Structure 1
Amino acid sequence: MASIFTKIINREIPGHIVLEDEHFIAFLDISPLVMGHTLVVPKKEVDYIFDNDDVTLSKTMVFAKKVARAIDKSIPCKRVGVAVIGLEVPHTHVHLVPLNSMRDINFLEPKLHPTQEELAATAAKIKAAL
């Protein structure tokens, strides 16, 4: 069965996409730790990040770097944190989280529940910085 990320990639469900190419996609987390929390996902559905081939693994981080630079320019933060957990959705994904404190990347903290309009505005800011 296709992951929720594959459904976003295939446009079966909506996503607030900030960047996409032939092999990767980046979109906002709908339950972010902080506003601007973005997921970078290879389009090929592989569950565990280290099961990706070396080229995909390295290109995932290069793609994430482009997105992180745009987040850094568009969302007030000290830096952009990176996390790979991989337990919640069985599809490789890298979390990019705008950080002002260590608490901002604590996945045990309550998540935000932004409106679709807030997500769309945040996505537009990040896209404009690319």
Structure 2
Amino acid sequence: MSTVFTQIIDGRIPGRFVWADERCVVFSTIAPITDGHMLVVPREEVDQYTDADDELLAHLAVVAKNVGRAQQAAFGSPRAAVLVAGFEVEHLHLHVLPAWDEQSLRFDNARHDVPGEELDAAAERVREALREAGHGDRVPVQLSSAALG
């Protein structure tokens, strides 16, 4: 059975995509800790961080860095944070989010009632910042797209 992330990648469940390449995708979480909170997810179903090969982890880290820079530009945050937990979905993913302080970087700060329009707007801000940074070839044409690769 495929994971919920594979179902999102395959377009069986809607997703707010900001990045897509041959190895991974980046989409909004439905429970953001801060506005612009994104998930970097490999296309390959890897259970957890320690199971991934070094080449995949390196690629995910570079994508997370590019997304983090875009978040800083889009939201004016002094930092971009990367969190790896993986308890909620058994499919490796990196949480990348604009960050202002360490105290706010807790999953119990996640908001579960954010309207779709706000999630869309935050994702579009990241998408635009990625395009402005020269990554337009990795930004999917549609915000919510099944045709990602």
For the aligned pair, the TM-score class normalised by the smaller chain equals over 0.9
Q: Is the 8 A contact 2:31 2:110 kept in 1?
A: no
Query: RMSD of the TM alignment (CA)?
Result: 1.1
Q: 2:42 maps to which residue?
A: 42
Q: CA deviation at 1:76?
A: 2.7
| 1:74 paired to 2:71 | no
Question: Number of residues paired by the alignment?
Answer: 130
CA contact (8 A) 2:80 2:97 kept: yes
- Paired residue type of 2:31: S
- Matched position secondary structure for 1:63: helix
The CA distance in 1 between the partners of 2:123 and 2:33, in whole Å, is 15
Displacement of 1:107 in angstroms is: 1.3
- Is residue 20–residue 26 contact of structure 1 (8 Å, CA) maintained in 2? yes
Structure 1 residues 67 and 4: alpha-carbon distance in aligned structure 2, compared to 1, 3 A threshold: same
CA distance in 2, matches of 1:120, 1:109: 20
C-alpha contact (below 8 Å) 1:24/1:60 kept by paired residues? yes
Please say if 1:25 is aligned against 2:25.
Answer: yes
Unaligned runs of 5+ in 2: 131-149
- Provide the C-alpha distance between the structure 1 equivalents of 2:34 and 2:14, rounded to a whole number of angstroms: 20
> RCO higher in 1 or 2 (8 Å CA, sep ≥ 6)?
2
SS of equivalent residue, structure 1 residue 62: helix
Q: Counterparts in 2 of 1:88-103, with a 5 A limit?
A: 88-103=88-103
Matching residue's letter, 2:109: E
Give the unaligned 5+ runs of structure 1: none
Q: Does 1:53 align with 2:53?
A: yes
Residue 50 of structure 1, CA deviation: 1.4
TM-score (norm 2): 0.83
